[in-house]
């Protein structure tokens, strides 16, 4: 019985390690770029007031960190059909 408990603890630690490594993966935000090299989304964000730019930057940082696990109020499903 003791060996079984030790094995379960070992398995739990190994599984936890895998989860932690998966959580370290950062998503990458890429702005749309036209074939001519212009980046209208980036240009739009840069045209906004500094405070608004900071809010958008923080939201994008959260999205990079949490990816599809980012929850409301920072992100929510786009209405329509589910993509998954």
Could you tell me which of 35, 65, 41, 64 has the C-alpha nearest to residue 53?
41
pLDDT digits (tens, 9 = 90+) for 34-77: 999 999 999 999 999 999 999 999 998 888 888 878 888 877 77
Quickly state the pLDDT bin for 16 (edges 50, 70, 90): low
Work out whether the CA dihedral 53, 54, 57, 58 comes out positive or negative. negative
Residue 66 has a pLDDT of 84
């Amino acid at each position: 019985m003791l060996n079984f408990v030790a094995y379960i603890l070992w398995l739990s630690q190994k599984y936890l390690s895998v989860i932690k490594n998966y959580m370290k993966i950062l998503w990458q935000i890429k702005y749309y770029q036209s074939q001519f090299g212009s980046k209208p989304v980036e240009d739009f964000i840069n045209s906004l007031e500094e405070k608004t730019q900071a809010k958008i930057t923080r939201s994008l940082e959260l999205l990079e960190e949490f990816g599809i696990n980012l929850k409301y109020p920072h992100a929510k499903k786009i209405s329509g059909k589910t993509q998954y």
